[in-house]
Each structure stands twice: as C-alpha cells, then as structure tokens.
Amino acid sequence: MRKVIFLVFLTTVFFSCKKKQQEETTVVIDETVYLKPELNEKSANYLYHFAFECIDQEYPNNLGQVLGNKSYLKEPSELHPTFYGCFDWHSSVHGHWTLINIMKELPNFEHNEAILKKLKTTITKENILEEINYFDDEHNKNFERTYGWAWLLKIAETLQDWDNPEAKLLYADLKPLVEVIEKKYMEFLPKLNYPIRVGEHPNTAFGLSLALDYAKKYSPELALMITEKAKTYYMNDQGCPVTWEPGGFDFLSPCLQEASLMLKVLPKEEFIVWFDAFLPDFRNNPAKYLEVAEVTDRSDGKLAHLDGLNFSRAWCLYEIGKALDNDKMLNLANKHFQYSYEKMDSGEYAGAHWLASFGLYAILKSN
C-alpha cells in the first residue's frame, strides 16, 4: 500500500513539474501580420496639421528656462523667435523638421505652399541670431542638451540633403545656429564620462544617434567623436534588461536606442556579435520581450509619452530589422506603429504638439 501511495506521489510530482516547465517555456506569439506604414497624401494630411498648427502657437508653453534676473522674464516668442511654438523648444524644432520632411518627400503635397510660407516667417536670419543669443547666455548654455540639439541637426541634415532652392535659403539662415550646436557637442562629449540611459530627453544614445546621422555627411570631426564615445560607452554592454521596459513616462527605449546607435557605429558582422550579447535571443523572438505600450490617459503629458515610445521603438526595430533581414522585428515595428498612429488624433495637446514628428520619423525608417 505504501509503495502504491509513493508511486502516485512521484507521478503527481513529475507531471506537475512537467506542466510547470511547459508553462514557463511556452510563449504565445502574435502571428498577426501588421501593415507597414507609408508616407502618401493621406498620411501626410493626417500628420502635417499637428505641426503646422502648433509651430506658431505660443501658449501653453514650457520654457525650461534659468532666470538670471527679472530681465529674463519675456514672452516665449521674444526669447525664441524661431522655435517658440508647440509647447516647448524641442517640440517646435521637431515640428519644423516634420513640415520640412513632408515637403521634401512629397513635392506635390497640396499644403506645401502654406507650409513654406509659415516656415519663412520663423526661420529667418534675424530670428536665428536671437536663438543664438539665448544659447550664449551664461545661465542657459546647456539648454536642451542633447535632445533638442539632436533634432536641430536633423533639420540641418534634411535641408542640406534636399536639392531645392528654398531649402538652401532656409539652411543659410539656420546655419549659424547649427554651428553653435556642433560646437556644443564637441565641448560637452569629452566631459561626459558616463552615458545617460533613461527613457526620456537626456538619453545619450538618442542624442548621439540623431547627431551622427548629420555628422556622417556634414561634420567629420563630430562624427569621429560620436563614434569613439559610443564605443566607449556601450561596446562592453551585455544583457540589457529590455523586459524592465517601459518605465511609466518613457518615450524612448533605452535598450533599442543604444542598439540603434551601435548599428550605425559598427560594421554589420561586429554589430551582430554585439547585438546577440546585448539582447540575447531577441533576434529569434522579439515579441517575447516587447509588448506594445498602452496609454491610459492622453491628456496627461507624461503618460502620453508612451505613444512616443511605440513610435521610437518602431523606428529602431525598422532600422535593426532591415539591417538584419529580420521580418519578426519588422512586423513588431508595424504593430507598435499602428497602435499609436490610430490613436494620435485624440484632441489632446499633450500629445498633439509633438507626436507627429515621431510618427513621421518611424514612417521614414520603415521604407
């Protein structure tokens, strides 16, 4: 009788352990095929109005300003006559980037004339000189470091890439500020011994990645410095805890942003070795590690960040997935993109003042 009871016990333990092991190793994979986004008349009409309506909307406004004395208390448009709209300076910058890229990619877009007319009132020689004065102020010399700096260089990249007489005129006016930002990167990076790995504006990998796109074409010295610093910061990283993401206010993925940067820094063969150590098994099963971030309240500016996270994850997955011919990553990118794209026009300014830029950037990376 004791033997029978013991055998029953062993059998129960065996099957319980086996069932538990199966539960732990079984991963439910979403095999839905999600559509890749495209930039066309329909999507451009959906995206452009967010930026078009806010680049000259002065209020509400988050100045992010250090006051040296009471003379600093001025209207946003006095402090930043080019980039005063869209709630804050960096959102205005990438709002301008959005409109410029729509015009560049769709030369026959029905609203291009109106867009150009508005840009000519913001990007002027006189306005840019005032912007430079702000950056030269002793109390605000680190203003928008490095998130806003990176987006400013993306505008410069687009304008110089674009073979268009109007683009050349806009760049001529913008160029003095571009030179200021380049110099600030060159001065700051040697002093930054440790990268900033958060999922918001200060993220070092993001600031270096966008700046490197520009620098590879137009600033060899800056490109070399960024490449060297990226290797110093990230070359030995392994086992990035991607399942810890997202943080509640993230609009960037620390793990994917770092991988996106290293893709631009390393030859493909070296990148694959690095990537497999940095995110083990990710190439085989990316959906196991990343779920689309859900937004609970789009009227809350911080919670609305998560829509931006879906877009920024998407563009990183497009970059890496295309480089590695990985359809699973590309489909996961499409899934992230579609979730937030369909909900972007919520009527809440907390997201409307900036999300079109992230959506457009993801679309451009998908193609």
pLDDT digits (tens, 9 = 90+) for 119-174: 999 999 999 999 999 999 999 999 999 999 999 999 999 999 999 999 999 999 99
Residue 313 Cα distances to 167, 199, 250, 365, angstroms = 30, 11, 11, 11
State residue 10's pLDDT score.
41
Q: What is the pLDDT of residues 185-235, one digit of tens each?
A: 999 999 999 999 999 999 999 999 999 999 999 999 999 999 999 999 999
On the question of pLDDT at 27 being above 50, the answer is no
Average pLDDT of the segment spanning 54-71: 97
Contact 178, 229 (CB under 8 A): no
- Sort 186 into a burial class: Cβ within 10 Å, 0-12 / 13-18 / 19+: middle
Domains of the chain in start order, with CATH, are: 36-366 (1.50.10)
132 Cβ neighbours under 8 A, 6+ residues apart: 176, 177, 180
* Distances in whole angstroms, Cα of residue 21 to Cα of each of 8, 13, 42, 243: 20, 12, 49, 20
Q: What mean pLDDT is reported for the chain?
A: 93
Q: Cα separation of 212 and 234, whole Å?
A: 15
Among 216, 106, 202, 107, which Cα is nearest to 154's? 216
Quote the percentage of the chain above a pLDDT of 70: 92
pLDDT for residue 20 is more than 90? no
Q: For the range 99-104, what are the long-range contacts, defined as Cβ-Cβ under 8 Å and sequence gap of 24 or more?
A: 99/48, 99/51, 99/52, 99/55, 100/155, 100/158, 100/159, 100/162, 100/167, 100/170, 101/158, 101/360, 101/364, 102/39, 102/44, 102/47, 102/48, 102/360, 104/158, 104/161, 104/162, 104/164, 104/167
Q: Predicted confidence band at 30 (pLDDT cuts at 50, 70, 90)?
A: low
The answer to whether 297 and 303 are in contact (CB under 8 A) is yes
Look at residue 346 in the predicted model and tell me its pLDDT. 87
Residue 12: pLDDT over 70: no
User: What would the two tokens of residue 132 be?
Assistant: 């430079």
Q: Which residues contact 72 (CB under 8 A, 6 or more apart)?
A: 65, 66, 139
> What is the rounded distance in angstroms from the CA atom of residue 233 to the CA atom of residue 205?
9
What DSSP element (H or E) covers 303? none
By C-alpha distance, which of 300, 307, 296 is closest to 354?
307
